[in-house]
């Protein structure tokens, strides 16, 4: 199983610099200090789930890009004819702050969803700051083991093994493990990738920042 932690910071920094956004500006939009973001970019600190999602949304990058997975070349092959097989030992993984782990599941480089095997260690939460997060997409989760608490808007729900949940991810929410055992489940976030693509198109630098229209197209193609 590969772990992408060592390179997440450098990829975030590269995405920020490619868009010509200052570290201070990104930190302001995400809601963290510039020094904290600098530590993340240099690999001295790991972001929380909430911070990682915020960074991905602000910089318009996908989970695949954070994991360093190269986009597949265009193919005339139809999607129904494809088979994406990924062994458990090959799952790219991200270890986040406060005991949260993401393992990216097989979904194809151009699939419509972020598919993840997520583990929350006891005491872990999606936001160490205690703030509810929100992001684009529809979120689906199925809990395999353990117990996890979902706070959404002003409601609170406890999910146990076998329970599932779906909600609009733009609603403020936070997951936390208040139990004594790890909580593991399968998560799908549908629609966030489409939003990322739209944001990438809006964030393409003006013509004077690139050498040609062809370069603009290449940049767009390089994003998921």
Nearest in space to 138 (alpha carbons), one of 62, 63, 193, 189:
189
Q: pTM here?
A: 0.64
Give the pLDDT of residue 84: 82
Give the pLDDT of residue 179: 95
**Residue in the structure block whose two tokens are 């767009």:** 220
Give the pLDDT of residue 3: 55
Q: Going residue by residue through the chain, which has 224 residues, state the pLDDT in tens, using 9 for 90 and above.
A: 555 555 788 888 988 998 899 999 999 888 888 998 998 888 888 888 778 878 888 888 876 777 666 555 545 454 556 788 889 888 888 888 778 998 988 876 666 788 899 999 999 998 877 888 888 889 999 999 999 999 999 999 999 999 999 999 999 999 999 999 999 999 998 876 554 434 434 443 433 443 333 443 444 444 34
Give the pLDDT of residue 61: 81
Give the pLDDT of residue 96: 82
Q: Are 60 and 224 in contact (CB under 8 A)?
A: no
Give the pLDDT of residue 203: 41
pLDDT digits (tens, 9 = 90+) for 99-114: 899 898 887 666 678 8
Q: Kindly list the domain boundaries of the chain, sorted by start residue.
A: 5-69+86-222
Give the pLDDT of residue 194: 53
- The domain made up of 5-69+86-222 has a fold known as Jelly Rolls (2.60.120)
Helices and strands, counts by H and E, the chain: 7, 9
H/E element holding 147? strand 147-152
Give the pLDDT of residue 208: 40
Residues 6 or more apart whose CB falls under 8 angstroms from that of 78 comprise none
C-alpha–C-alpha distance, residues 68 and 62, integer Å:
10
Q: Are 214 and 188 in contact (CB under 8 A)?
A: no
Nearest in space to 94 (alpha carbons), one of 73, 60, 118:
118
Give the pLDDT of residue 108: 65
Give the pLDDT of residue 90: 83
C-alpha–C-alpha distance, residues 32 and 181, integer Å:
30
Q: How many CB atoms lie within 10 A of CB 91?
A: 18
The token pair at 149 is: 């608490």
C-alpha–C-alpha distance, residues 21 and 49, integer Å:
22
Give the pLDDT of residue 80: 57
Residues 6 or more apart whose CB falls under 8 angstroms from that of 80 comprise none
- For the chain, give the number of residues: 224
Cα torsion 106, 122, 29, 172: sign: positive
Q: What is the DSSP annotation of 28-53?
A: HHHTS-HHHHHHHHTTSS---HHHHH
């Amino acid at each position: 199983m590969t772990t992408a932690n060592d390179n997440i910071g450098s990829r975030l920094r590269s995405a920020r610099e490619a868009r010509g956004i200052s570290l201070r500006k990104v930190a302001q939009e995400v809601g963290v200090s510039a020094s904290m973001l600098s530590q993340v970019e240099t690999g001295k600190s790991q972001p929380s789930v909430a911070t990682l999602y915020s960074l991905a949304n602000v910089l318009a990058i996908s989970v695949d890009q954070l994991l360093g997975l190269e986009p597949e070349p265009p193919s005339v092959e139809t999607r129904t004819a494809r088979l994406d097989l990924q062994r458990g030992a090959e799952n790219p993984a991200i270890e986040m702050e406060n005991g949260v782990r993401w393992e990216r599941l097989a979904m194809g480089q151009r699939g419509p969803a972020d598919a993840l095997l997520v583990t929350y260690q006891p005491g872990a939460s999606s936001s160490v700051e205690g703030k509810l997060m929100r992001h684009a997409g529809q979120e689906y989760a199925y809990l395999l083991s353990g117990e996890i608490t979902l706070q959404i808007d002003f409601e609170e729900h406890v999910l146990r093994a076998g329970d599932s949940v779906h909600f609009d991810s733009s609603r403020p929410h936070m997951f936390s493990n208040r139990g004594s055992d790890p909580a593991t489940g399968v998560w799908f976030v549908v629609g966030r990738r489409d939003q990322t693509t739209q944001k990438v198109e809006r964030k393409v630098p003006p013509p004077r920042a690139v050498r040609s229209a062809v370069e603009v197209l290449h940049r767009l193609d390089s994003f998921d």
